[in-house]
Amino acid sequence: MVTTQKSTELTKRGLAQQLKGGVIMDVVTAEQARIAEDAGAVAVMALERVPADIRAQGGVARMSDPALIEEIINAVTIPVMAKARIGHFVEAQILEALGVDYIDESEVLTPADERHHVNKHEFRVPFVCGCRDLGEALRRVGEGASMLRTKGEAGTGNVVEAVRHARAVYGEIRRLSCMPVDELMAYAKDIQAPYELVKEVAREGRLPVVNFAAGGVATPADAALMMQLGVNGVFVGSGIFKSGDPSRRAKAIVEATTHFQDARVLAEVSKGLGEPMVGIEIDTIPREQLMAVRGW
Amino acid sequence: MLALQGDFKEHAAMLRQIGADPVEVRRAEQLDGLDGLIIPGGESTTIGKLMVSYELLEPLRKLIESGRPVWGTCAGMIVLAKDLGGLRQPLVGALDVRVRRNAFGRQLDSFETDIPMPEVGDEPVHAVFIRAPLVESVGEGVEVLGTLEDGTIVAVRQGNLLATSFHPELTGDSRFHLYFLQMVDAETETAAVSS
């Protein structure tokens, strides 16, 4: 008798495997979703406001209107992701019911729970979560995340935080890879990560799930920088549709992510892209408005 | 293997395990001297667009005409197909089948199952389908290698072309990769004899 199983760990993590080497773009309308798909995005993130606008407008940022998400789902053939607030498991239930392909439990929205994230094992839909270091990454995997993204600082057009977080995660993995087994428990305690997952990372020399970069990627060079640092792909939020020529910039970032080691291609695709989004110096942002520190 | 986008690293790991020497192809000139090519899973629209931008479609068609074995998994099956039932996106268009994209539904309908595949081995192949395509109809000369219980076609071969809806690169079973290497070895021997 043949058994068929849906929504297994393999299918959830496997979709992230298919997205590797690609660009996931924030879109706020069906029209933008079509532009993203035409430019070669591997998936779109459906939301009401891009992080730059959330930052500018302030207030509580919540899950997007289901009608908008549905409209975007119907507009494209590529996977559609949507964001739920940290710890807001009912927003996640609603997004699952809508049939989104991935949920981003995201620090870009205002957290709904200041202590707990969603128990993602309970869901059939896979989740992607943000991380700033290996401990945070493995806590999210422990809760059932099927994909990770380094957080960066969303809506700034400034890649410095994305670099900091990617260097932290991959540096810690490199340290773990040559650590004697008898030191792993103390290390797990130090970084507040589940011991079994720490052992797995030490053994395999890599994260258990796919990891993309996010937060502040605004140019083809930014995307290639993150790829060379070791991420598996990139999320571009405000960087595309807050720039002068979104379609052209989107296509250039897609090509830069594929040819991330080929400086000739990077030079070619970076030419004449028009105005990038206006960037923000991280030091000028009041501490309580930083998004990356949300997540526990 | 074609390394424009997708899970080509998983294919490379499987090939290395069974003694092959995979290289990553992103530009047309890198196709020279290959014995065979794998087009991995990924997003078929993305892979298709990058094949157009970097002028890979014609060189790929030539590679196939020259008899080199080419295997597409999931997105790779889609870009090899001749007919997507009206969907317009760039295709190599060499495999005489009609393929339906996202045929089983959205991610929530992705699944794992076992499929008898006598060409590949006695034991059934454990297969994972992720937003997978299916083969709606096949032309003459296309051999069906595997179907689901309800008869849905999910693995086909047409001469030097192999295509699967599912991802043998993700399940740790190297038999499909061995089967492809046999196709490559047979072709390399034929080419050596005829020259």
**Do the domain assignments include residue B179?**
yes
* A213 pLDDT more than 70: yes
* Phi, psi angle pair for B181, to nearest 5°: -65, -35
Residue of A24, A25, A28, A2 whose CA lies nearest to A15: A24
ipTM: 0.95
Vertex A27: Cα angle to A24 and A32 (nearest 5)? 110
Q: Does B104 touch chain A (CB under 8 A)?
A: no
* B34 pLDDT more than 90: yes
- Catalytic annotation, pick one of A6, A12, A20, A83: A83
Per CB-CB distance under 8 Å, the chain A contacts of B9 are 20
Q: Does B149 touch chain A (CB under 8 A)?
A: yes
Residue of A296, A294, A268 whose CA lies nearest to A60: A294
Contact B26 A37 (CB under 8 A): no
Q: Does B3 touch chain A (CB under 8 A)?
A: yes
Two tokens, residue B67: 């008899």
pLDDT in the model for residue B195: 67
Contact criterion met (CB below 8 Å) for B90 and B57: yes
**Do the domain assignments include residue B1?**
no
Vertex A229: Cα angle to A227 and A231 (nearest 5)? 50
A42 to chain B, minimum CA–CA distance in Å? 6
Domain membership of residue B27 as a residue range: 8-194
Q: Please tell me the total number of residues recorded for chain A in this structure.
A: 296
**Do the domain assignments include residue B3?**
no
Out of B6, B128, B171, name the one closest to residue A20 (CB): B6
Residue of A230, A231, A268 whose CA lies nearest to A251: A268
Two tokens, residue A116: 């707990």
- Catalytic: A83? yes
Contact B42 A18 (CB under 8 A): yes
**Do the domain assignments include residue B40?**
yes
pLDDT in the model for residue A214: 97
DSSP 8-class letter at B2: B
The tens digit of pLDDT for each residue in B47-92 reads: 999 999 999 999 999 999 999 999 999 999 999 999 999 889 999 9
Which residues, in sequence order, are CB contacts of A208 under 8 Å at separation 6+? A141, A197, A200, A201
Q: What is the mean pLDDT of chain A?
A: 96
The tens digit of pLDDT for each residue in A256-296 reads: 999 999 999 999 999 999 888 888 999 999 988 999 999 99
Contact criterion met (CB below 8 Å) for A207 and A198: no
Residue of A180, A163, A184, A154 whose CA lies nearest to A52: A154
**Do the domain assignments include residue B2?**
no
Q: Does B128 touch chain A (CB under 8 A)?
A: yes
What pTM, to 2 d.p., does this model score?
0.96
**Do the domain assignments include residue B143?**
yes
**Do the domain assignments include residue B117?**
yes
Mean pLDDT value of segment A216-234: 97
Tell me how far apart the alpha carbons of residues B65 and A145 are, in angstroms, rounded to a whole number: 44
Q: Does B28 touch chain A (CB under 8 A)?
A: no
Per CB-CB distance under 8 Å, the chain B contacts of A101 are 106-108, 131
Looking at the structure of chain B, the number of domains it has is 1
- Collapsed DSSP state (helix, strand, coil) of residue B70: strand
- Catalytic: B74? yes
Out of A15, A40, A126, name the one closest to residue B46 (CB): A40
Q: How far is CA A30 from CA A64, A153, A283, in A?
A: 13, 26, 35
Which letter, b or e, does each residue of B89-124 get, where b requires 16 or more Cβ atoms within 10 Å of its Cβ? bbbbbbbbbbbbbbbbebbbbbbbbbbebeebeeee
**Do the domain assignments include residue B151?**
yes
Per CB-CB distance under 8 Å, the chain B contacts of A251 are 53
Distance from chain centroid for Cα B80: 7
The residue with tokens 């930083």 is A290
Query: Please, what is the end-to-end C-alpha distance for chain A in angstroms?
Result: 44
Q: Does B172 touch chain A (CB under 8 A)?
A: no
CA nearest to A10 within chain B: B128
Contact A18 B112 (CB under 8 A): no
pLDDT in the model for residue B6: 98
Contact A14 B4 (CB under 8 A): no
Q: Does B78 touch chain A (CB under 8 A)?
A: no
The tens digit of pLDDT for each residue in B89-113 reads: 999 999 999 999 999 999 999 999 9
**Domain of B147: which CATH number?**
3.40.50.880
Contact B111 A2 (CB under 8 A): no
Confidence of residue B169 (pLDDT cuts 50, 70, 90): very high
Which letter, b or e, does each residue of A268-292 get, where b requires 16 or more Cβ atoms within 10 Å of its Cβ? ebbeebeebbeebebeebeeeebbb
